[in-house]
């Protein structure tokens, strides 16, 4: 039997071109490291995880077959050290490295160092990485390959005066961009000469500090732009195919938030033209492995080359869901010398997929990052229509040292609306406690009429959420349904000492028609409940409306799954005192189920006023108080800097919102702060 198992494993690791790798090291962390491990296990390949001090108990470390410690928590002292990764490969006997995305994934020096050590790089060759890594040179190559490019000046601009001359020639508005840029850094839009001068200076400074390269160029700014990218896969034998497109227009500060495949905007003719141009560019640099060619598309479906990412993209799962292909598996096989097992005509498009990036951040506080322990963490159940890629687990930590991504939530459906509707329910099923998260914001996006209509641009969030995200942006609640859910939950539970415990009623008992008053956010909703606990079927009457509920919920479960009037609904239910906190479609409601007499008495209870914090400067996030710029008794003006709080390696300057006098300093430089901790008190 053991010999048979060994033979099967050997067969799994053999390709037409020769044996696949026995062991692969993943030079990354978090969800993408876990994602690569998953494909390696499917192929019967052993994996090696590298980790920093902060990641000693990380999920990718737990899931890998071997692990190697590579240094302190900051990525510059661990994940970005090429020699440490090469040393780890030699130590473990790893024959290949998958770089994931970010970190060293697009560093030609890394590919060269691995090649020198005779270790395979699961990605393109250094030539392609270099050619596509420079935005100026990549656009020149694109032009030579016949790829449509944005009109502009594809050369480094020496000074602000020259920038103005070029901007006038190109025609306003223009985009000033760092040549070595990425992640939205070193980018400025200018509509006139003054903005061009200011934008040139700021983009140059930002580019120098972020990339140690202050070269910037200018191109025409496409108004009402959509960000649409083509996924490629190419082998080392001259074969290259495109795997349709992804729409990534929903962005906040140039960072993608929602991605979908295919695009709701492209027609077959445009899709084919974009795909063929992307393939032409890849072949021009003899590209090998998975890669993505990004385009800006205007309202007339004219498309322009933006850049090529020579790595696996964060949003690759939506492509996998509509094609049925495993991109990581293909990358591994291509790196081992295999030919692609299919041609362009074989790539089918099946349905629609949507991805939402779930982050540990507070959307109600201008998306400030949130760190800490995941006290509770439950993902939606995986299936053919739901996929979750994550690198965290319940009880784990969201570290201040890295990107605060919790997970990538993906849904699939036959149509775009079906995929969006499944996403809305899946977001309700995502149960996270202990850190703030952006699920309310994602829920608001999924419910937004303009998003559902597919009328997208890269300015969508800036236009639809002016002034920031607030509770007013959440989808409207059906208060009657929430009241009915609260009453049903109460019927299936009994309250003792503020804790919800299983009811002492016989499980066969029928709930006779009971009059209840649900205090929903302190507003009374009178209703009647009739049902059978054994069958989990209830009818809730509110005025002339009757709401039918079928559920298998039991006390202690955080998610109330039900069919309400025939429609699948999920509500998160947390015990709060003698009531419930219900979370649905990003919003929350406090519910207290009372008898009519109890409701009469409850109405007489005084409402406790919220504390007045207007005289205090509070910390908007957990972090380190880097500096305090004022002293007691000092007068300050509106807009004046008061303190700097450092979190997630970013400095956040806190300023006075009005004129005033400093009365008391409640914290000093070097203190660790929690959310809403007092820093300064005003007179």
Kindly list the catalytic residues.
Answer: 307
Q: What are the angstrom distances between the C-alpha of 21 and each of 9, 14, 91?
A: 12, 9, 16
Of the candidates 433, 522, 441, the one whose C-alpha atom is nearest the C-alpha of residue 479 is 522
Cα–Cα distance measured from residue 114 to residue 521, given in angstroms and rounded to the nearest whole number: 60
Q: Which of 133, 102, 181, 80 is nearest to 403 (CA)?
A: 102
Ordered DSSP codes for 275-310: HHHHHHHHHHTT--EEEEEEEEE-TTS-EEEEEEE-
* CB contact burial 353-374 (16+ within 10 A = b; e otherwise): bbbbbbbbbbbebebbbbbbeb
Could you give phi then psi for residue 238, rounded to 5 degrees? 90, 5
Query: Which residues partner with 218 through β-bridges?
Result: 153, 176
Q: Is the dihedral of CA 7, 13, 19, 23 positive or negative?
A: negative
Place of tokens 């079928």: 550
Residues 261, 266, 269, 272, CA torsion sign: negative
- For the chain, what is the total number of helices (H) and then of strands (E)? 18, 43
User: Apex CA 561: angle with CA 548 and CA 492, to 5°?
Assistant: 70
Whether the bond between 110 and the residue before it is cis, its omega within 30 degrees of 0, is no
Could you give the count of Cα atoms lying within 13 Å of 606 in the half-sphere of its Cβ? 3
CB atoms < 10 A from the CB of 473, how many? 18
The bridge status of strand 545-551 relative to strand 559-564 is: antiparallel
């Amino acid at each position: 039997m053991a010999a048979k198992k060994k033979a099967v494993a050997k067969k799994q690791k053999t390709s037409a071109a020769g044996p696949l790798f026995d062991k692969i090291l993943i030079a990354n962390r978090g969800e993408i490291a876990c994602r690569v491990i998953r494909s390696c296990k499917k192929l019967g390949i052993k994996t090696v995880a590298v980790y920093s001090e902060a990641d000693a108990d990380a999920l990718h470390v737990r899931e890998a077959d071997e692990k190697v410690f590579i240094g302190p928590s900051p990525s510059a002292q661990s994940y970005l050290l090429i020699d440490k990764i090469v040393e780890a490969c030699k130590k473990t006997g790893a024959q290949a490295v998958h770089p994931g995305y970010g970190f060293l994934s697009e560093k030609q020096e890394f590919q060269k160092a691995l090649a020198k050590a005779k270790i395979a790089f699961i990605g393109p060759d250094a030539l392609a990485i270099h050619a596509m890594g420079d935005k100026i040179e990549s656009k020149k190559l694109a032009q030579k390959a016949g790829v449509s490019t944005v009109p502009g000046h594809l050369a480094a601009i020496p000074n602000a005066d020259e920038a103005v001359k070029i901007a006038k020639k190109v025609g306003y508005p223009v985009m000033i961009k760092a040549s070595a840029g990425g992640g939205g850094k070193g980018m400025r839009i200018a509509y006139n000469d003054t903005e061009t001068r200011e934008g040139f200076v700021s983009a140059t400074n930002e580019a120098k500090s972020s990339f140690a390269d202050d070269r910037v160029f200018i191109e025409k700014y496409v108004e009402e732009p959509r960000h649409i990218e083509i996924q490629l896969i190419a082998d080392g034998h001259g074969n290259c195919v495109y795997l349709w497109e992804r729409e990534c227009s929903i962005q906040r500060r140039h960072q993608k938030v929602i991605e979908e495949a295919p695009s709701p905007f492209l027609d077959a003719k445009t899709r084919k033209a974009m795909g063929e141009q992307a393939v032409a560019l890849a072949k021009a640099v003899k590209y090998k492995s998975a890669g993505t060619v990004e385009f800006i598309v205007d309202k007339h479906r004219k498309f322009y080359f933006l850049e090529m990412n020579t790595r696996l993209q964060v949003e690759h799962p939506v492509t996998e869901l509509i094609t049925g292909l495993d991109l990581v598996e293909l990358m591994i096989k291509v790196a081992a010398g295999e030919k692609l097992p299919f041609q362009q005509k074989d790539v089918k498009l099946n349905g629609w997929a949507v991805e939402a990036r779930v982050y540990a951040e507070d959307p109600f506080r201008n998306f400030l990052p949130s760190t800490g322990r995941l006290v509770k963490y439950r993902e939606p159940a995986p299936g053919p229509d739901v996929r979750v890629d994550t690198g965290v687990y319940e009880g784990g930590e969201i570290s201040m040292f890295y990107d605060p991504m919790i997970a990538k939530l993906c849904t699939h459906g036959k149509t775009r609306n079906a995929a969006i509707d499944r996403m809305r329910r899946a977001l309700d099923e995502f149960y996270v406690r202990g850190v703030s998260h952006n699920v309310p914001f994602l829920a608001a996006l999924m419910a937004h009429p303009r998003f559902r209509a597919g009328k997208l641009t890269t300015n969508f969030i800036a236009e639809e959420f002016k002034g920031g995200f607030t509770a007013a942006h959440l989808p409207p609640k059906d208060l009657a349904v929430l009241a009915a859910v609260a009453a049903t939950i109460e019927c299936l539970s009994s309250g003792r000492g503020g804790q919800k415990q299983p009811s002492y009623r016989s499980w066969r008992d029928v709930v006779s028609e009971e009059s209840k008053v649900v205090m929903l956010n302190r507003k009374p909703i009178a209703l009647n409940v009739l049902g059978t606990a054994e069958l989990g079927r209830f009818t809730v009457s509110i005025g002339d409306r009757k709401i039918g509920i079928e559920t298998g919920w039991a006390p202690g479960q955080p998610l109330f799954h039900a069919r309400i009037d025939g429609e699948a609904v999920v509500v998160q239910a947390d015990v709060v005192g003698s009531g419930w906190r219900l979370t649905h479609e990003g919003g929350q409601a406090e519910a207290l189920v009372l008898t009519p007499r109890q409701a009469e008495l409850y109405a007489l209870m005084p409402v406790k006023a919220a504390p007045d914090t207007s005289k205090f400067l509070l910390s908007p996030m957990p972090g380190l108080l880097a500096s305090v710029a004022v002293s007691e008794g000092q007068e300050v003006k509106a807009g004046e800097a008061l303190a700097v709080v450092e979190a997630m390696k970013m400095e956040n300057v806190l300023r006075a919102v009005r004129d005033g006098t400093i009365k008391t300093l409640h914290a000093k430089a070097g203190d660790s702060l929690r959310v809403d901790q007092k820093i300064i008190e005003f007179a």
